Amino acid sequence: MRILFTSDLHDHDHRYRELQDLCQKHAPDLILLGGDCFPRQGQTDASIAGQKRFIETRFSRFLIETAPVTTGFIPGNNDWAACLPVLRQLQKGSALHILTEGPLKIRNWTVLGYSYVPPTPFSFKDFEKRDRPEDPWPLNGTAVVSDRGSIAAVPAETLFRARNTIEEDLAMLHSGDSSREILVSHTPPWGTMLDRLSSGGHAGSRALREHIGHRRYAFSMHGHIHESPRISGQFWDRLGKTACFNPGQAEDCLCAILVDTESGMANHTVYGSAEYA
């Protein structure tokens, strides 16, 4: 199967156009979007309305123009949870599949989705959780959430105490034969070539790294850390039996990866080809 994967498109129209061109050129069997696909316009109800308009117009047009290819999608930490009802409605009449609401079965593969990332310095927290139960509570600051349909501000500690950790969520994330499973997770695994910051540090999930090592997926697809491939020099890494990818993202061009599950080759739009098998 040929998978076209990208993440962190935000509202850059040129990225959507380039992705459509790649789809036409390479005829993938599946498109996967790893989160943060919509505009970032502050922390107000107007920002939610802007994301909804984008979904109903530009994102909907993208799905029409790439049909009949299925698009598997997860929200990222910059996507408002209040937009999920609009996405669910769009899913009913298009090739969209929201992976966080149920696995996608395609060509003897199962694709799973997970959106949450460990706490970031940013205040919007719809898709953030503590990584592991032993991690400290975020004690300071205000969290901005939209899961009840509009913007609300709550103390960060209150929010995180009310939520499971990423580790606890992942323990319940399973489907069947992991050798035929693909995980799409916005956060990359910690301590890999895929979660490197400009400072050289790591910003991925330790819980996810442990989960991938235990579950042994065939592939995992990630985003979130835009600069990681540029800093680490690699857009893929391996954890045990799992080939893991993060295309990163750039301002002036689309970063995307075409993964061939049979040939063992992956081709990046900026960083060239790699043999992952």
Domain ranges for the chain, please list them.
Answer: 2-116+182-275
Rounded to whole angstroms, the Cα distance separating 266 from 261 reads 9
What's the fold here for domain 2-116+182-275? Purple Acid Phosphatase; chain A, domain 2 (3.60.21)
pLDDT value of residue 41? 82
- Give the end-to-end CA distance of the chain in Å, rounded to a whole number: 14
The least confident of 63-77, 128-142, 204-218 is 128-142
pLDDT at 234: 98
State residue 139's pLDDT score.
Answer: 67
Structure tokens at 28: 């993938």
Q: What is the pLDDT of residues 99-121, one digit of tens each?
A: 999 999 999 999 999 999 999 98
Label each residue of 123-165 as H, E or C.
Answer: CECCCECCCCCCCCCCCCCEEEECCCCCCEEEEHHHHHHCCCC
Helix (H, G, I), strand (E, B) or coil at 58: helix
Closest CA to 233 of 200, 264, 276, 187: 200
Residue with tokens 């235990």: 214
Angle subtended at Cα 212 by Cα 182 and Cα 104, rounded to the nearest 5 degrees = 20
Non-local CB neighbours of 172 within 8 Å, separated by 6+ positions: none
Reported as a single tens digit per residue, the pLDDT across 172-203 is 997 788 999 999 999 999 999 999 999 999 99
Distance between CA atoms of 246 and 56, rounded to whole angstroms?
A: 27
pLDDT band at 11 (very low <50, low <70, confident <90, very high): confident
Name the burial class of residue 30, with classes exposed (0-12), middle (13-18) and buried (19+) by CB atoms within 10 angstroms of its CB.
Answer: buried
Q: Give the mean pLDDT of the chain.
A: 95
pTM, full prediction? 0.97
Give the span between the Cα atoms of 54 and 18, in whole angstroms.
Answer: 17
Residues 6+ apart with CB under 8 A from 214: none
Residue 138 has pLDDT above 90, yes or no: no
Does residue 97 register a pLDDT over 90?
A: yes
Judged against a pLDDT cut of 70, whether residue 272 lies above it is answered with yes
The confidence band for 122, taking pLDDT boundaries of 50, 70 and 90, is confident
Spell out a b/e string for 180-197, using b for 16 or more CB atoms within 10 Å of the CB, else e.
Answer: ebbbbbbbbbbebbbbbe
Task: Give percent of the chain with pLDDT exceeding 90.
Answer: 91
